[in-house]
Amino acid sequence: MKTITLGNSALEVSQIALGCMRMSHLTTSDAKHVIENALSLGINFFDHADIYGGGKSEEIFADAIGMDSTIREKMILQSKCGIRKGFFDFSKAHILDSVDGILKRLKTDYLDILLLHRPDALVEPEEVAEAFSKLKESGKVRHFGVSNQNPMQIELLKKYVKEDLIINQLQLSLMHTPMIDAGLNVNMKHEQAIDHDNSILDYCRLNNITIQPWSPFQYGMMKGVFVGNSDFPEINEKLQELAERKGVTDSAIAIAWLLRHPAQMQPIVGTMNPDRLTDIAKASEIELTRQEWYELYLAAGNKLP
């Protein structure tokens, strides 16, 4: 498994991360198998959130590995906070309380990275800054980032927050490419030219913020998986063609498409099937050509200007 450096940090992490949202549905023994398999593949990055399984995903994760200092040193743990029932909350009190809960459930003294989940329209960046400083000084959180935020939202935080924001977790897959579409269709009048994200892809590259694509096999807003889906024959035909050519699976090709982008992204893969994760991890061993990358983009139903 190849590694990348996250943002402006010194963190060397696996090119592919394991998302633990679905871990709440596993038994402790099954979760242990998933985690140990990931580590054996060279995947050392595990993504959590306080809302995943109502906190149960974090609890099962810690119980499954028998969290202690020895195993803790082998992994990078990231979690997210800010989503509450019916509203979003970036208040200082909620951020601090959330981190205490996360650490308790994960049975660890610190998080490597804390992300603010979906944007809070009522955010008071001064409070975020106070929370981050307190968490950093106490050693509870070592690095910080955001999720699903546009450039101006990040700039607002950066005006007050002293710590580097090293990650922006964003939805991106072959079948969900608005941040790429807009960059290809500059000065055009059709739908693909609409800039939904204020050039977030280029902004993150300019500011050395690592993009973590979430739902890399999904189409739409959590509508389902496009890989192997008969509703999308053209993209699946191209995925299969390249998979046979490269000696990997179609899912590995879908991840390789993200890894081929020079932004040095880190896809978050959420499978809880060890065999499937093993197949997906092979994406790190191949590199698509420029032509193959564009062929997949077009097969997904996109058009070039």
pLDDT tens-digit profile of 62-89?
999 999 989 999 999 999 999 999 999 9
* Region at 247 (left for phi over 0; alpha for psi -120 to 50; beta for the rest): left
CA atoms within 13 A on the CB side of 276: 11
pLDDT for 221 beyond 90 = no
**pLDDT-derived band at 151, boundaries 50, 70, 90:** very high
d(CA 81, CA 69): 24
**pLDDT-derived band at 223, boundaries 50, 70, 90:** confident
d(CA 177, CA 189): 18
Q: What is the mean pLDDT of residues 1-10?
A: 97
Q: What is the mean pLDDT of residues 29-54?
A: 98
**Can you give 188-251 as a three-state secondary structure string?**
CCCHHHCCCCCCHHHHHHHCCCEEEEECCCEECCCCEECCCCCCCHHHHHHHHHHHHHHCCCHH
The dihedrals phi and psi of 93, each to the nearest 5 degrees, come to -60, -45
**Closest among 264, 266, 241, 262 to 253, alpha carbons compared:** 241
Structure tokens at 17: 């991360």
**Closest among 6, 296, 275 to 180, alpha carbons compared:** 296
93 in Cβ contact with 130 (< 8 Å): no
Name the H helices within 41-176.
56-65, 69-72, 92-106, 125-138, 151-160
Q: How far is CA 165 from CA 13, 72, 139, 142, 148, in A?
A: 16, 23, 17, 11, 13
183 in Cβ contact with 169 (< 8 Å): no
**pLDDT-derived band at 261, boundaries 50, 70, 90:** very high
Q: Which residue has the higher pLDDT, 189 or 146?
A: 146
**pLDDT-derived band at 296, boundaries 50, 70, 90:** very high
270 in Cβ contact with 277 (< 8 Å): no
Task: For the chain, give the mean pLDDT.
Answer: 97
**Closest among 9, 21, 64, 6 to 39, alpha carbons compared:** 64
Q: What is the mean pLDDT of residues 154-170?
A: 98
Could you tell me what percent of the chain has a pLDDT over 90? 95
Q: What is the mean pLDDT of residues 24-46?
A: 97
What is the per-residue pLDDT across 120-137, written as a single tens digit (0 to 9) for each? 999 999 999 999 999 999
Going by C-beta distance under 8 Å and a sequence separation of 6 or more, which residues neighbour residue 145?
A: 7, 113, 114, 115, 116, 165, 166, 167, 168, 169, 209, 210
User: What pLDDT shows up at residue 127?
Assistant: 98
Going by C-beta distance under 8 Å and a sequence separation of 6 or more, which residues neighbour residue 21?
A: 49, 52, 53, 57, 270
Residue ranges of domains in the chain, CATH in brackets: 3-229+263-271 (3.20.20.100)
Going by C-beta distance under 8 Å and a sequence separation of 6 or more, which residues neighbour residue 285?
A: 248
Q: How far is CA 96 from CA 5, 86, 90, 91, 138, in A?
A: 27, 20, 10, 9, 11
User: What pLDDT shows up at residue 116?
Assistant: 98
Instruction: State the catalytic residues.
Output: 52
Q: What is the mean pLDDT of residues 266-291?
A: 98
User: What pLDDT shows up at residue 96?
Assistant: 98
User: What pLDDT shows up at residue 220?
Assistant: 77
**pLDDT-derived band at 210, boundaries 50, 70, 90:** very high
Structure tokens at 231: 């509703």
pLDDT for 145 beyond 80 = yes
